[in-house]
Each structure stands twice: as structure tokens, then as C-alpha cells.
Amino acid sequence: MNVNVEEKLFQNRYRVDHGRPHISIIDAAVCATECRTQQCTQVCPANCYKAEGNGNITLITDGCLECGTCRIICDDFRNVNWEYPRGGYGILFKFG
Amino acid sequence: MEKFDAIVVGAGPSGNAAAYTLAKAGLSVIQIERGEYPGSKNVQGAILYSDALEKIIPEFRDEAPLERHIIEQRMWVLDDDSYIGTQYRSDAFNKAPYNRYTILRAQFDKWFSGKVSQAGALVICETTATDLIMDGSRVVGVRTDRENGDLFADVVILADGVNSLLAKKAGFHPELKPADVALAVKEILFLPQETVESRFNVKEGEGVVIEMLGKITKGMMGTGFLYTNNESVTIGVGCMLSDFKKERISPYLLLEQMKAHPAIKPLIEGGEMKEYTAHLIPEGGLKAMPQICGDGWMIVGDAGMFVNAVHREGSNLAMTTGRLAAETVIGLKQAGKEMKAPNLAAYRGKLDDSFVMKDLAKYKDMPGIFHANPQFFTTYPELVNQAAHTMLTVDGVDKKTKEREIVRSFTRSRSLFGLAGDAFKMWRAMR
Amino acid sequence: MSVEAKKPAGKKKFELDPRLAEYRGIWVFIEHERGAAHSVSWELLGEGRKLADKLGVPLAGVVMGAPGEATRGFCLEAFQYGADLCYLIEDPLLNDYRNQPFTKGMTDLVNAYKPEILLLGATTLGRDLAGSVATTLQTGLTADCTELNIDPEIRSLLATRPTFGGSLLCTIQTLNYRPQMATVRPRVMAMPQRDAARSGNIIEHPLSMIETDIVTKVLEYIPDQNTSKVNLAYADIIVSGGKGLKKPENFRLIWDLAKVLGAEVGATRPVVQSGWVEAERQVGQTGKTVRPKLYIAAGISGAIQHRVGMDASDVIIAINSDPNAPIFDFATYGIVGNAMTILPALTEAFRLELAGRRETAAA
Amino acid sequence: MIHIVVCIKQVPDSAQIRVHPVTNTIMRQGVPAIINPYDLYALEEALRIKDKLGGFITVITMGPPQAENALRKAISFGADEAILVTDRAFAGADTLATSFALASAIRQIEKSMPVDMVFCGKQTIDGDTAQVGPGIAKRLDLELLTYISSVVSVNTDKREIVVQRRSEGGVQVLKTRLPCLITMLEGSNEMRFATMPNMIRAARATVKKWDRVAAGIEDPGKIGLKGSPTVVSKVFAPTPKTAKAEIVQTESNEPQDLAAALLMRVFTRFPHVADEVRKNAAV
């Protein structure tokens, strides 16, 4: 069974802070060369982390649900710089 | 910049309970919320426990946006395409004042925040608190992401949720470990009100809650849930983040497979999905609890790991810790005492006297036991379902043989010694 | 002209106030700028013809501009696109579009010749003019209509338009006010056949206004071609690339095709995020919404977040190696194949076609 | 000192409106109210003029009591005063009745302080009609400047203003005299991130509430449903476009043949696209 998470995220309400992503990968080389498991690409509930196939990871935070999973499960290398978006930006839950 | 008696960071149940109690007592309070309005950043299953809120806003039932009062609780243990479970429905639950409600947090928190403003607190939304302002080891204020946005107060109450960034940046507690939190994902599916009521055999305003464990978490330690709202159902599943990390299963795949389970699919058939959310739930219990107060600061709600995971209780602990923290500050203010750690420690005393610490102490070993014993989530669900299936299939095999077969299935997979060990561990953890 | 009439309550039989009965005929405002008529005017004449035939009334074009061949030429063109007659106001004050003189000209014509329906293109000019004319005449105006019809029983215009951001449609009527005004977006109505044999008569009307009456002056005009700004929202042809192109170097194939077609270049969110193109080129929910005549999408899966930004395009060509990519569910044409080989072939095919056509034109 | 009135409207966040695919009913649950996005460009442009030349900004809206939230947010960005025109008699107003009500309210504001400029958003995302601006300008006899992409200069002594106005093929540079009404084009600026003092001032500000009489409207026949020439007779969901793509194939399936076959089909079935390609390519 494959799941189209983009269809799910499209139902949510976001106010994207263009040009100011609130989460960033500290050192891309660590993902590419040292991290074998790359669990962020599987466990992020919004699938923001995508493996490019050549070891690199790209991060698009537009659909981020701000849960904090990536910061915590990247405990081997602590390679995620995680902050909340600017006030009023990011995910805006209609039901919560 | 003017100085306040207290700054409350966050407008969830704990933040609102604290700000409301402080403002009601006449203290000058400013509350900072990063969402567009209170509730737009908050996620929960969500069940509201009346007793905690009654102590803060006794007349809440007259005006709060509540979905359904719960009259039936189902506990399911699921195998791949079957479940065995128990069900408790009581007419006593159908007598006002109702004990538990399903709610939609975005609407409920917005209502609660309206009460906080009416009580006189200054509620500032769309503003993210970025750092605590320290004077030596004492917290004197909060830095926000707005121009000249530094705010100062005698005490800062941290109600900023499970991630608790402010306390971490200030070094009050370490980064959360994957084994301390569970990751839950859920969806809200809209159905006509009559369909919800006919499928769950309830009348208007009455609600059903289903708690699930077993194969739906694919061997990971976790549970699923299905709550009935007025014209929607909420369905979700959550597992320990350490298990997610190890198994590398995508949460949305887990949710989709759960929704396809033959026992669940008919209950949500035709539902229109309108929101998909994810949230971390503190699961570490007492052992993972950080320092809860210090010079000029206190922690309430999820930020302080105040969650009783075994009974899935969070919002009542949040509101209670918010209220108790506020009552501590009010007491010190009236006595003219400094908001220093020794004085604020009275907060810990109040918590010890309340159900909060008692429950957390009772289940302090539970997380450890479940961690070490995945069989509670895989083997036993399977054994129990198959046992029921064997007993209920009438195929000419005599009952004695059937019983022997069931006992052998248990001993084969867990051995006599294992079964005894599991029973003892559960007994000791529940004591 | 508005007449105080009691509101029709519910299904009660509605009769038009007799004093409004003298408003007859359908008018279409012929919009032109820098010497060229806007094609939406011809589309509206096509639509106006259908409405006029249903009501059995004449269809007229309204032309306002500086004296000269060009302005009169618009009237002749209007006849060829179906107008029975044209109301013409020629005056130097009408050389560049300014709200004050154009509003006065239009309201004078309406009060003099009393049309029952007045249609304008929903362009920046048309909507500016329609808003002030409707307020001056105190009548009803429905904007951005996607469908026009007539309720034969009470001869009233049924104007259907999107509401709530396009997720819904609503039908609006202007019952006891005349004229019934409506604006329609370009490329919504079909372009009618042009019949060179058609002609009609022109009714001239004075503007009776002097320059000193008009406060606003036009200092300068800056055509779009001169600005280097990316202009996706107003582009007629767009070639967009997605991550299916695999490497930034392959995005050059998008630029090659765009150059041959004189098209703007667009991109999906992931491509912009990886820095292959600048952010202004992002098409989709968090980027631009575009309505070109032709949208070519190469290496784009067609996720809903991209689709909502471009599925109003007239013709969508999708090139993707995955046969069940979502984009094939709503594109007009699809080629299942490797964009890196299809794109150059398409560029070559268009170049030959355009080169060939230019020779025959030149010969 | 320049006095600018900015008209805003609280609208449902229409991007969140969904139509149930099966029952085709309109699903309104969870659709929050926001400031009409187009109005934020108008408010920001007014704030920039105030920053440059000094001035006083009154923000006004016509709507239900909850529209007060939109006004508070406008104050948090820097508006000085907020007026909520709210009365049951306004219900059901179309653009003509709305512009009548707002124009009368602005006349009341003029009594305490003359108005130099009125700013409006280009249109609303729920109405999309873009007529309220022109309507107010006509009633108050203000110079109408619509689809403005930038305010180039404002000379308060000579009471002159130069703006750039978007037209179909390019941009007109216009000069006119105050008082004028401006509707701003989307994307012409970016709303500032409010300062904390303004956020606190907004939370504590009192919002003036005017009913029909306070807004200077004697004749109820001019407002609400009665004052509205247009009547909505039906609201319905569009029929979804379900046609799948016509997959172009040739026996060889070679790129050149596929490209040629595709081009042939597009040019024959869609002549206006063919004309556009030829016109564009010739330039």
C-alpha cells in the first residue's frame, strides 16, 4: 500500500513564511556520508525529508507539522537546527 | 517596556489554566501564543476531563464548545483481521454533569482563551517566544521574535508544550530522547451527524471512545484510538519514537493500514478527511520529568512531561499543573515573597498532594516494562485473538482438546516461565 | 436608472417595472489599448449575439477613442464579429484610458440609448470602468462571469460567476435595475467566427468634456516587454519543469523550448527549493496561479499543490516517464516518456513548424 | 499631516472551503475568518506613506461584530484608529449598498478630520467583484486610481500624487490630485511584521462601533438587501473536470514522431493556441 501524503497535507491550512524555513540541516555532508539509516526520510509525518538517491537529503518545510520528531530522532548526529516558525506562520490547525 | 507580575508562554490547556487563575486573582499577566489564535498550534486526541476544568471554570458546560459526552468506552486488542475486546457503556455517564467529553482543540482553546482575556490577562498571538532572558541564574523575562519584543516579569510560566525549547535553551533540561516521547498521527473525517450516531448506536450528544492496541502498530509499542465528534470521527495511532526510529515505518502508512483494518474500515466509510495532524506525546513519565521550577520560572503541562500515558490522560494534568503553579505564584505574591526557587518549590508540594504525582509515581516503571517487553503488543494480541477464535469455532473438536491447544499456543510462544514473568511484571507495574 | 420597486418575495410571479421596459438591446464595450483591440471584446460579441437572438433585440458595440482610422477600424471589426450597430465617441481626451472621461462617455450613451444589458471584459480597464459606471447609474454589476444566460420568462440576465475563491459558483440576477451589467474574464467565452462580409451603421455621440475638467494626467506608458520582470500571471504560453528532470543542467531544455515559443518559464516548488530557478517562477499553491493558453509540464508529477496553480490553463501538455503520474488525470495531452529526450524533439518540431510557416508567409 | 482611511473586510479563508465530492454540499466547518488578503497590500502602502510623511490612519470595516478582530490586527500593524460599522440592516448588502454605507461612514469621519486618501484592496476573495473601491470614489468624488502597483510620490503641499497603474499590456504612470481613492494590486508590497508595542496597543485598543445612524445613513432603503440591485438566486458546486489526458502515441514512439504528432493535434484542435504560438514566435 503506498500513501500519498501530499493529498493529506493539501487538506491542511498553512501560512508559508517564504524564504524563511524554520528548520535546516546543519551539515549536508553528514547526511550524505555518515548517516546510514537516514530515518528522518521515513519517520517525518509530513515527509519533508527526501533522499535524493545519491545520499543527499533535501528538506522542504512547507508541509511541516511542527511535531519535533526530526530533531529528536536525529540523536546520533544532532544534525537538525529546529526552531518554531515566525509568529502566525507555519501550520494553522482548523480542528487540532 | 512595562513589567508584569507573570508571563505565560503558550495558550494550550496548561497555559490558559495558569493565565486564567492568575488574572482572576488580579495579577498583571501577559500570555504569548505563537499561533494565529489560541488553538491553531495545539493537537490532542482529544478528550476533555471535566474535573480538572470544573476547578477553574465551574460553569464551563454552559458555553464551552464541546462535541459529545462519552457514555461508552471500548478496549480492543487487534490481530491482523480480527479483534477481541471489552466494552463499558453506562447510563450513569448519561446523567449531567457529564464526566468526559470529546472536543476539537482549535475551537476549545480559542474559547478558553476568550475567558482568559475576559479575566483581564493580555493575550498576544502570532508571537513566538525565542529565548528566556536571564539575570545571572535568575529568569527575568522572555525574548520574542517581534521588534523590541523583550518582556519582563517576576515569574515566567513555561507552558510551551512537549518540545519545551525555552527550558532546553536555558539548560534547565536536556534534549528529549526518542524513548521519552511517542509520535502520534491522526485524521479528522467528516460524516453526517446521523451516520455517526447510527454507526455507534448513540443519540444526539452521546459519544463513544475506542482505545486499541495490537497488530495495528506492527510490533511497535503504541496504541490507536477512534473518537466520535459531533459530525466527524477522529482516528489516530501513536507509537514510541524509539520504535519508529528502529523500525523506520512511516507514520502515515501505519495510519492508512489501520484505517483499512476490517474492524475499523466500516466505522469510517465515506468520511471526508479535512485535516491530518501529527504530535509528540510525553511518555517518559516520572523518570523523564525535568526540574519543574527555579529562580523566576516554573514549568507546566506537556513541557514538564506531566502526562499519564497508561491512562491516556494529558489535558487534565495540564490544567491542574497550570492551576497549581498559578496558585503558588498568587500565594507568594500575597505573602510578599520573592519568586525564587525555594519559595516556588511549594508548587512541588501542591503537585505531590494532587493526583498528578500520585498517578505518575504509580506508573513510573510502566514505560520501562513496555520497552523491554514488545510481546505485550505483538504476541499476546495474536494469542488472545486465536484463543477466542479456537473456542468460538464449532468444528466437532471437543472443548478439552481446544483448551489444551490454547494453553500450548501460549506456552510455545512465551514458555511457562515467560508467562509467569510477564504476569509478575504487569502486577508490579500496576501496584 | 433605478426604480424603487418592492423586492420580489420568494416564488411570487415577478413582473418588470413598465418604466424599465424601454431599455432594449445588448451592448458590448470594445476595449482597445495602444492601437490594438483586446480579444475579450470579440469573445463578448460572440456571446452577446446568442443573448440578443434569445431576446430578439439588436447587438451593439460601444467604441470610445481618439479620432482616426484605428478607432473607426474597431467599429468595422465589431460588425464582422457580429455587432448590428456601433455607438462611437471620438475625442482626443479618450486617447489614453482614464476613468473620468470614459465613465462620462459610457453613462451619457446609456442614458441616451437605454440598453438592457451592458457587457465589458474583466480586464484591469474593463473592471475599473464597469465599477464607476455601475455606481453612477446606480445599477447592478456582476463581475468575472463564467456563464451568461437569459431567463426567457422575465427576460432577465442570469450571470454565473465563481465565489469563495472558485470552489463554488453562484448565479446572480439584477431584477429591477437597468442596464444589467456584467464583466467576463478573457478566454472564458469562445471566440466567434469573423465574417468579413458583415457591416452595420455607426451612431456618433459627442463627449462634451474639456481637458481641464479631467484631473488625472497620463505621464508615461511602460509596455511589459521592456521590463525584465518575470510575468507568469499574464503569460499566454508557459513551459514548466519539475524534479523529473533530475539535474539542474537538464533545466536548460526547458529554456530552449521556451525561447522557440516565446514563452515564460515556470517551475515546481522542489525545483525552486533546490535553487535551479528563482522563486518568482514557482507555479502552484504557494507560488503563482496562472491561466495561459498553453502550459507544457515536463518532469512534473502533478501533485495537488502544483495542480491548483495551473489547471485553469486552456491546453495542458504533460511529459512524464511515469504513466500513472497524477498530471495525466487532468492534462489535455500526455506523452509518456523521458522528458530529457522528448523536450529537444518538441523544441525542434515547433522550430520547423514556425520556420516553415514564416517561409510560406514570406513567399 | 496626511489622513488616510483604509477600508478592510473580514472574509472566510476561502482556500479552506471544500465541496464534498459525493454530496456536493458546501463544507464550512473549520473555515476561519481572516483579513481579506488584498486589503493587506492597501494597508501596508498606507503605512509606508505614514512612515515617510507622517500621518494618521483610520481603518474601517463593515461587517458582523466579530469583524472587530480584523480591525485589531490592522491596529497591530500600525493603524491609529479603528471603526466597525455594524448593524443588522447591512446584512445581505451587495457591492452597491456596501459602497454606499462605507462612503457615508467616511463622510462622518471627515467631520472630525479631513480625509486625503482612501485605500481599498483590489477585490475580496469571497466577492471578487472589485466594485466597492470605484463605488466609494464615485460617491465621495475622489479621483479613482485602481490596480496601483506602486505609489511613486506624494506631494502634500501641492496635494499631488504620482502612481503606477497596471494595464493589460504594461504600466501607466499617472499624476492626479488629492483627495483620491487607491486600490492596490496584489504583490505590490509585503506586509510588515508588527512590533511588540503595537501588538500590545492593539490588544488594549477600543474599537469604535457605529450602527446605521452613527454612520450617517438615514434611508435604510439604500443599504442591506433592500439597497442591492443584484440578488443571488443560486449557489452550486462546479462539475469537476474529469477528462483524462489523451496519450499521444505513434507506431515508432520515437521522440521526433511523438513531438510532430502532438504538435499536429494541438494546432488543429486549438487554433487560438496555434495563433498565439505563431504571434509570439514571430516577435
D140-157 pLDDT tens trace: 999 999 999 999 999 999
Which cell numbers hold the place of D117?
486618501
Mean pLDDT, chain B, integer? 94
Q: What are phi and psi of D39, to 5 degrees?
A: -70, -25
D-facing residues of C in 304-363 (CB < 8 A) are 311, 314-318, 327-337, 341-342, 344-346, 348-350, 353-354, 357-358
Closest CA to D262 of C353, C249, C143: C353
Closest CA to B300 of B336, B365, B354: B354
Is residue A89 one of the residues assigned to a domain?
A: no
CB A49 within 8 A of CB C270: no
User: Which sign does the torsion angle of CA D154, C124, D129, D185 carry?
Assistant: negative
A-facing residues of B in 130-169 (CB < 8 A) are 130, 144-146, 162-163, 165
CA angle C108–C111–C116, rounded 5-degree value: 125
Q: What are phi and psi of B184, to 5 degrees?
A: -115, 140
Q: What is the pLDDT of residue C8?
A: 44
Would an 8 Å CB–CB cutoff place A62 in contact with chain C? yes
Nearest chain D CA: its distance from C353 CA (Å): 9
Q: Please, which pLDDT band fits residue D282 given cuts at 50, 70 and 90?
A: low
User: Which sign does the torsion angle of CA D15, D18, D24, D29 carry?
Assistant: negative
Would an 8 Å CB–CB cutoff place A13 in contact with chain D? yes
Would an 8 Å CB–CB cutoff place A69 in contact with chain B? yes
| pLDDT at residue B83 greater than cutoff 50 | yes
Q: Do A1 and B253 touch (CB under 8 A)?
A: yes
Nearest to A87 among B34, B245, B250 (CB): B34
Is residue A9 one of the residues assigned to a domain?
A: no
Would an 8 Å CB–CB cutoff place B144 in contact with chain D? yes
Q: What is the pLDDT of residue B430?
A: 72
Interface of D with A (CB under 8 A): 13, 15-16, 18, 29-32, 193
The continuous run of DSSP H or E covering B9 comes out as strand B3-9
Name residue, grid cell 499519564: B308
Below-70 pLDDT ranges, chain C: 1-13, 165, 226-228, 357-363
Which chain B residues touch D200 with a CB distance below 8 Å? 30, 122, 124
Q: Do C270 and A18 touch (CB under 8 A)?
A: no
Domains and CATH numbers, chain C: 19-213 (3.40.50.620), 226-362 (3.40.50.1220)
Q: What is the pLDDT of residue C13?
A: 62
Which cell numbers hold the place of C224?
511589459
> Which residue of chain A is at minimal alpha-carbon distance from D30?
A94
Q: Do A13 and D16 touch (CB under 8 A)?
A: yes
Nearest to B34 among A5, A37, A84 (CB): A84
Would an 8 Å CB–CB cutoff place C135 in contact with chain A? no
Q: Do A72 and B241 touch (CB under 8 A)?
A: yes
Name residue, grid cell 476544568: B53
Mean pLDDT, chain D, integer? 89
Is residue A90 one of the residues assigned to a domain?
A: no
- Sort strands B138-144 and B151-158 into parallel, antiparallel or unpaired: antiparallel
**Going by beta carbons, is chain A in contact with chain D, meaning 3 or more pairs sit under 8 Å apart?**
yes
Nearest to A13 among D13, D29, D193 (CB): D13
Nearest to A86 among D18, D30, D193 (CB): D193
**Cβ–Cβ contacts within 10 Å for residue C145, how many?**
23
| pLDDT at residue D21 greater than cutoff 60 | no
C-facing residues of D in 9-28 (CB < 8 A) are 12, 14-15, 17-19, 26
**What digits encode the pLDDT tens for the residues B358-377?**
999 988 888 878 777 888 88
Q: Residue C211: is it exposed, middle or buried by C-beta count within 10 angstroms (0-12/13-18/19+)?
A: exposed
d(CA D76, CA B125): 11
Rg of chain B over Cα atoms, rounded to whole angstroms, equals 23
- Which residue range(s) make up the domain with A71? 22-84
| pLDDT at residue B215 greater than cutoff 50 | yes
Q: Do A94 and D31 touch (CB under 8 A)?
A: yes
Q: What is the pLDDT of residue C5?
A: 42
- Sort strands C156-163 and C168-174 into parallel, antiparallel or unpaired: antiparallel
Q: What is the pLDDT of residue D15?
A: 76
Residue ranges matching CATH 3.40.50.620 in chain D:
2-222
Which cell numbers hold the place of B116?
482568559
- Sort strands C315-320 and C294-298 into parallel, antiparallel or unpaired: parallel
Q: Which of C335, C348, C358 to mutate to test the interface with D (most CBs of D within 10 A)?
A: C335
Q: What is the pLDDT of residue B217?
A: 94
Rounded to the nearest angstrom, the gap between the alpha carbon of residue D97 and the centroid of all alpha carbons in its chain is 17
Q: What is residue C139's DSSP assignment?
A: -
Average pLDDT of the residues in D225-229: 78
Is residue A6 one of the residues assigned to a domain?
A: no
Q: What is the pLDDT of residue C6?
A: 44
Nearest to D32 among A11, A86, A94 (CB): A94
CA angle C251–C255–C257, rounded 5-degree value: 115
**What digits encode the pLDDT tens for the residues B112-169?**
999 999 999 999 999 999 999 999 999 999 999 999 999 999 999 999 999 999 999 9
Q: What is the pLDDT of residue A81?
A: 97
- pTM of the full predicted structure? 0.89
Nearest chain B CA: its distance from A55 CA (Å): 17
Nearest chain C CA: its distance from A10 CA (Å): 7
User: Which sign does the torsion angle of CA C264, C270, C272, C276 carry?
Assistant: negative
Which cell numbers hold the place of C161?
460567476
CB B358 within 8 A of CB B431: no
Which cell numbers hold the place of B379?
504476541
Q: What is the pLDDT of residue D90?
A: 85
**What digits encode the pLDDT tens for the residues D101-126?**
999 999 999 999 999 999 999 888 77
Q: What is the pLDDT of residue B135?
A: 96
Would an 8 Å CB–CB cutoff place A53 in contact with chain C? no
SS3 C178: coil
Which chains reach chain C with 3 or more Cβ–Cβ distances below 8 angstroms? Answer: A, D
D2-222 falls under which CATH superfamily?
HUPs (3.40.50.620)
CB C299 within 8 A of CB C245: yes
CB D61 within 8 A of CB D7: yes
Cα separation values, B312 from B68, B211, B360, C304, D120, Å: 18, 9, 12, 36, 50
CB B74 within 8 A of CB B85: yes
Q: Do D196 and B148 touch (CB under 8 A)?
A: yes
Cβ-defined contacts of B365-373 (< 8 Å, 24+) = B365/B428, B365/B429, B366/B285, B366/B309, B366/B310, B366/B429, B367/B179, B367/B283, B367/B284, B367/B285, B367/B287, B367/B288, B367/B309, B368/B287, B369/B425, B369/B426, B369/B429, B370/B221, B371/B179, B371/B221, B371/B240, B371/B242, B373/B422, B373/B425
SS3 B273: strand
Nearest to A60 among C270, C279, C304 (CB): C270
Q: What is the pLDDT of residue D20?
A: 61
Number of structural domains, chain A?
1
Would an 8 Å CB–CB cutoff place A67 in contact with chain B? yes
- Sort strands B293-294 and B297-299 into parallel, antiparallel or unpaired: antiparallel
Q: What is the pLDDT of residue C148?
A: 95
Domain containing residue A57: CATH number? 3.30.70.20
Torsion angle (degrees, nearest 10) of CA C65, C66, C68, C72:
10
**What digits encode the pLDDT tens for the residues B268-285?**
999 999 999 999 999 988
d(CA C41, CA C54): 20
Q: What is the pLDDT of residue C360?
A: 52
**Going by beta carbons, is chain B in contact with chain C, meaning 3 or more pairs sit under 8 Å apart?**
no
d(CA C320, CA C337): 6
d(CA B41, CA B129): 14
Nearest chain D CA: its distance from B61 CA (Å): 21
